Structure 1
Amino acid sequence: MIRFLAAVFSVVLLSPAWADVDIKAVETPGGITAWLVEDHSIPFMALELRFRGGTSLDDVNAQGATNLMAGLLEEGAGDLDAREFARSLESLAASIRFDSSDDDVSISARFLSENRDEAAALLKLALTQPRFDADAIERVRQQVLSGLRSDAQDPNDIAGITFSAMAYGDHPYGRSGKGTVDSVAALTREDLQAAHLGALARDRLYVGAVGDITAEELGVFLDDLLGDLPETGAPIPGPAQVTLSGGVTVVPYDTPQSVALFGHIGIERDDEDFFAAFVMNHILGGGGFESRLMTEVREKRGLTYGVYSYLLPKDLAAVYMGSVASANNRVAEAVEVIKAEWARMATEGVTAEELDAAKTYLTGAYPLRFDGHGQIASIMTAMQMQGLGLDYITTRNDKVNAVTLEDISRVAERVLQPENLRFVVVGQPEGLPVATE
Structure 2
Amino acid sequence: MRAPQYRGTHEHSLPFPLVVTHGGVPGPRTALAIFLLAILFLVLPPLTAHAAMSIQEVKSAKGINAWLVEDHTNPIITINFFFDGGTTQDPPGKEGLANLMARLVPQGAGDLDGDAFQTKLDRAGATMTLEAQRDGVHGAMSMLSLRKDAAFDLLGLALNRPRFEQEATDRIRAQILSGIIGNENEPNAIAEREWLSVLYGSHPYSRPEEGTKSGVAGVSPADLRASHKATFGRDGLHFVVVGDIDANALREKLDQVFGELPPTQALAPVADVTPQLGQQVKVKYDLPQTSLTLAYPGVKRDAPDFYAAMLMNDILGGSAFTSRLFQEVREKRGFAYYVHSDLFQQQHSETLLVRTATRPDRAAETLSLVRDVVKQMAERGPTEAELAAAKKHQIGAYPINYLNSSASIAATLLDMQLNNFGIDYIQRRAGLIEEVTIEQVKAVAKKLLSTEPAIMIVGPHLEHKG
Q: TM-score normalised to the size of structure 2?
A: 0.88
Please name the residue that 2:443 is paired with: 410
**Secondary structure of residue in 2 paired with 1:63:** coil
Shift of 1:4: 5.5
CA distance in 2, matches of 1:148, 1:50: 25
1:238 maps to what in 2? 270
2:433 corresponds to 1:400? yes
Matched, 1:381 2:424: no
The 5 A counterparts of 1:296-307 are 296-307=328-339
Letter in 2 for 1:174: S
SS of 2:321 mapped into structure 1: helix
* Superposed displacement of residue 12, structure 1: 5.9
Aligned-pair distance for 1:300? 2.5
Contact 1:46 1:377 in 2 (8 A): yes
C-alpha offsets along residues 206-227 of structure 1, whole Å, 9 cap, x if unaligned?
1111222222222211011101
Does structure 1 conserve the Cα–Cα contact (< 8 Å) formed by 2:127 and 2:141?
A: yes
Counterpart residue identity of residue 187, structure 1: V
Q: What secondary structure, in the 3-state scheme, does the structure 1 residue paired with 2:296 have?
A: strand
| Equivalences for residues 186-335 of structure 1 within 5 A | 186-335=218-367
C-alpha separation in 2, matches of 1:430 and 1:7: 49
Does residue 96 in structure 1 map to residue 128 in structure 2? yes
Matched residue SS, 1:100: strand
When residues 43 and 311 of structure 1 are mapped into structure 2, their CA distance, relative to the original with a 3 A threshold, is same
Residues 88 and 270, structure 2, Cα contact 8 Å, conserved in 1: no
How do residues 33-72 of structure 1 correspond to structure 2 at under 5 angstroms?
A: 33-72=65-104
| Aligned mates of 2:124, 2:449 — CA distance in 1 | 51
Return the letter of the residue paired with 1:389: G
Change (3 A) 1:389 1:11: farther
Task: State how far apart, in whole Å, the 2-side matches of 1:158 and 1:286 are.
Answer: 27
Describe the superposition over 1:388-408 as per-residue Cα deviations: whole angstroms up to 9, x where unpaired: 011111121222222222221
Distance 1:151 1:305, change over 3 A: farther
Segment drifting more, 267-276 vs 404-413: 404-413
- Give the C-alpha shift of residue 11 in structure 1: 5.1
Partner SS state of residue 244, structure 1: coil
Aligned length: 433
Residue equivalent to 2:183? 151
1:242 positional shift: 1.6
Q: Secondary structure at the match of 1:77?
A: coil
For normalisation by structure 1, the TM-score amounts to 0.93
Given candidates 62, 85, 90, the residue that maps to 2:117 is 85
Distance 1:365 1:172, change over 3 A: same
5+ residue gaps, structure 1: none
Question: How has the CA–CA distance of structure 1 residues 187 and 425 changed in structure 2, closer, same or farther, with 3 Å as cutoff?
Answer: same
CA deviation map 1:198-255 (0-9, x unaligned): 2221121011112222222222110111011122223253333224232422122332
Q: Which of 35, 48, 54 is 1:22 aligned to?
A: 54
- Which moves more between the two structures, 402-411 or 114-123? 402-411
Q: Write the mapping of 1:96-135 to structure 2, written as runs, cut at 5 A.
A: 96-135=128-167
CA distance, structure 1, for counterparts of residue 60 and residue 437 of structure 2: 42
> What is the alpha-carbon distance in structure 1 between the residues aligned to residue 40 and residue 426 of structure 2?
25
In the alignment, residue 414 of structure 2 is paired with which amino acid? T
* Displacement of 1:297: 1.9
The whole-number CA distance in structure 2 between the counterparts of 1:6 and 1:337 is 44
Q: Output the amino acid matched with 1:249.
A: V
Question: What letter corresponds to residue 419 of structure 2 in structure 1?
Answer: Q
How far apart, CA to CA, are the structure 2 residues paired with 1:201 and 1:167?
A: 31
1:341 deviation in Å?
Answer: 1.4
The answer to whether the 8 A contact 2:47-2:73 is kept is no
- Worse overlay, 313-322 or 267-276: 313-322
C-alpha displacement at 1:151, in angstroms? 3.3
Unaligned runs of 5+ in 2: 1-31
Contact 2:276 2:454 in 1 (8 A): yes
Task: Check 1:132–1:144 CA distance in 2 against 1; reply closer, same or farther (3 A cut).
Answer: same
Q: SS at the partner of 1:290?
A: coil
Q: Which amino acid aligns with 2:441?
A: I
Task: Give yes or no for contact 2:284–2:462 (8 Å, CA) kept in 1.
Answer: no
Cα drift, residue 13 of structure 1 = 6.8
Q: Distance in 1 between matches of 2:43 and 2:234?
A: 33
Structure-2 residue corresponding to 1:359: 391
* Root-mean-square deviation over aligned CA pairs: 2.0
Q: Secondary structure at the match of 1:378?
A: helix
